[in-house]
Amino acid sequence: MAKQYQSIEPNHQKFILQQRIFFAASAAAEGRVNVSPKDAAALRILSANRVAYLDQTGSGNETAAHLRANGRLTLMFCALVGPPLILRLYGQGHALLRGCPAYSESLAASFSNSEPPGARQIVVLDVDLVQTSCGYGVPLFEYAGERPTLQRWAEAKGEDGLEEYRRSKNAFSIDGFSTGLIESS
């Protein structure tokens, strides 16, 4: 039932833009696999083979560490309402750390130069494979709204508090791989 494509087709783009959540999966050659939920409103489709999402400060930064280790990244979208479908974007990714020129250029070009409180990096994925599958096993869910907790937490921390938090909690993965935060400062 799975079908593979070399790029994001118009019907894939429409499906992606209808989602409220997606999942980012990454891993280094050794260590743990990471899967993180992401707000689909932070995702931009840049071309048929490139997407990016504006990532916020969280309890860890596994994705950035894994991207530095080998670049492998998969994004998964699944229909929680409507007809069943799972769509995965496979490829090589990299993180544009906040404060670097490429981050600023991407923020201006793709995110209207607007960053939410706690913005940490922009993750870019060069897509080399798109796969769809049935999604029959995905349950239906009703959207109840966004949680304001992360934004309130970031606002309360302030820029200095967020910088210190990132240095202490986001500089290395749980397996000890560097995320690049310390080298970029």
* Nearest of 57, 25, 58, 19 to residue 39 by alpha carbon: 19
DSSP at 173: -
Number of domains the chain contains? 1
Dihedral sign computed on CA atoms, order 9, 14, 17, 18:
negative
62: tokens are 């596994």
DSSP at 147: -
What is the mean pLDDT of each successive set of 10 residues along the chain, which is 185 residues long? 95 98 97 97 98 96 97 98 97 96 98 96 98 97 94 97 96 96 72
Q: What is the pLDDT, as a whole number, of residue 183?
A: 76
pTM: 0.96
The neighbouring-strand residues paired with 5 are 130
Which H or E run contains 73? strand 72-78
Structural domain boundaries, residue 162: 3-139+148-184
Cα(57)–Cα(8) distance, integer angstroms:
28
CB contact at 8 A, 127 and 111: no
CATH classification of the domain holding 69:
2.30.110.10
Q: What is the pLDDT, as a whole number, of residue 184?
A: 62
Q: What is the pLDDT, as a whole number, of residue 13?
A: 98
Cα(23)–Cα(25) distance, integer angstroms:
6
